[in-house]
Structure 1
């Protein structure tokens, strides 16, 4: 039986949200009688920060408990003076990471499925895939070939570090908002990249912190999550290359709704699939 986790990263980003059981920050005891108003106010403020932090940490568990949800995702990437956007809509198994999506980018829409950590896309032009209507990328193999720990993709204990990287000083409540008619509480969060799996390498690309915004409903489940990343890739080599590091900004916005919806993600017949895993791994491999 697989461990339950919340995995949405295989849809369009490498973000993996895991189930984590964390205890709340305990009360140090009441303040002494006769304490100043300032100290009481500071204590109240600290308690509020602890509650906010715990709400954000618990959100991954609370959302995973719903088992499935409908998902919309918007990704915008800006690099080298060019902007690329992609929109996705579909359904997601929050525990297994399986999903069915329609992705629209560049005026074209493609069908996408994630099954057992393998990404499948129906190609607009089968000739580009050797006459096969589908291509696939084994996400675990790509992680291994690029030097990452393949276990980080499917192991909730690894993805739990995402929530563990959040401390009281990293969470602040923004206010309340309605999302599709649902009352939510909006938080700003700063993730300590060094505390994430592979944090030393990630820090070279992302910097020391990763800003995130998250909106939770009254049951503590994620309704919206936005992550804005500034990436720095190694300089390109070859004729005509500038030799300067490549800069990119990527914004990913995910929204969850209709918890408990049916998810029917199946892999296409193997004879209709071209394997692009090695090409994807080579394209994403960075130099030393």
Structure 2
């Protein structure tokens, strides 16, 4: 059950990462409603999204909190920090502290898990020790593809797909975590997400993980993703919400970015506490 909980939540994380892809810099545009540029010279929603997507490609590191629910109604919340080069990630995830609904704590729930990624080395800590008594399980992602799909990609890396949404619009201004933002909404098809990945996506393992996330949702009948994004005055994504529904039920996740380009240090757990993840999955 715990293994299923973690896999389901990470699949949602992977989809949101896919639904959130970008290339290089941009700066300080002010949004105007409508699909084209405004008569006053203000940028259109699509131009704002494209600028934010470019900003994501320049990030060297990122920290964020997440909360939401996977298919089947499994609520989760998480807190993470990641470095793009060198590749490193630390994420804590669990059920909301308040119970079934999505809470605000960021991973301090009853079913707490922790994930660490250092290059290709993926470590997972579960609430209870494995059968071999080890607190941590480890796998080389090069030898077990897909196991770390939910944590080895930039969660703001597919924002460019939203720029192609036919119903993209500005939905007002809001403060998010004390930051002034402009709110945009739109619906993106999986084909639009695939096209955005092809043009702007992560490379290597991150790209493969995003492609796998889209494939998994297609298998459950998901055809499109409802997206909401909140962009700050520096053209940076501050918050992202994704919702989709397929044969396994609805998914809903919100990511709030808490830091950009700050030092990230992720250390491997003590070797004496680490077992083999691939062996655990075979049991």
Task: Report the TM-score range of the alignment, normalised by the length of the smaller protein.
Answer: 0.5 to 0.7
The corresponding residue for 1:253 is 254
Q: Between the two structures, name the one with larger relative contact order (CA 8 Å, sep ≥ 6).
A: 2
- The structural deviation recorded for 1:279 is 6.1
The corresponding residue for 2:75 is 85
**With structure 1 as the length reference, what TM-score do the two structures score?**
0.63
For residues 57 and 129 of structure 1, do their structure 2 counterparts lie closer, same or farther at Cα, with a shift above 3 Å needed?
farther
**SS state at 2:234 partner:** coil
Could you tell me how far apart the structure 2 residues matched to 1:227 and 1:96 are?
Answer: 28
The corresponding residue for 2:238 is 223
Could you tell me how far apart the structure 1 residues matched to 2:279 and 2:220 are?
Answer: 23
**SS state at 1:203 partner:** helix
**SS state at 2:191 partner:** helix
1:47 maps to which of 26, 33, 37: 37
**With structure 2 as the length reference, what TM-score do the two structures score?**
0.64
Which runs of 5 or more residues in structure 2 are unaligned? 1-8, 27-33, 96-108, 195-210
**SS state at 1:57 partner:** helix
Could you tell me how far apart the structure 2 residues matched to 1:193 and 1:165 are?
Answer: 11
Q: Is the 8 A contact 2:25 2:57 kept in 1?
A: no
For residues 192 and 257 of structure 1, do their structure 2 counterparts lie closer, same or farther at Cα, with a shift above 3 Å needed?
same
For residues 122 and 185 of structure 1, do their structure 2 counterparts lie closer, same or farther at Cα, with a shift above 3 Å needed?
same
1:113 maps to which of 105, 112, 116: 116
Could you tell me how far apart the structure 1 residues matched to 2:85 and 2:188 are?
Answer: 23
Could you tell me how far apart the structure 1 residues matched to 2:136 and 2:161 are?
Answer: 38
Q: Is the 8 A contact 1:78 1:250 kept in 2?
A: yes
Could you tell me how far apart the structure 2 residues matched to 1:130 and 1:141 are?
Answer: 21
**For residues 1-288 of structure 1, what are the structure 2 equivalents within 5 Å?**
13-14=13-14, 15-16=17-18, 18-20=21-23, 46-48=36-38, 51-79=44-72, 83-94=73-84, 98-105=88-95, 107-116=110-119, 118-126=121-129, 128-136=130-138, 138=140, 142-143=144-145, 163-164=160-161, 166-167=163-164, 169-195=166-192, 196=194, 197=211, 202-232=217-247, 247-277=248-278
For residues 252 and 122 of structure 1, do their structure 2 counterparts lie closer, same or farther at Cα, with a shift above 3 Å needed?
same
Could you tell me how far apart the structure 2 residues matched to 1:84 and 1:10 are?
Answer: 11
Which runs of 5 or more residues in structure 1 are unaligned? 1-8, 24-43, 233-246, 284-288
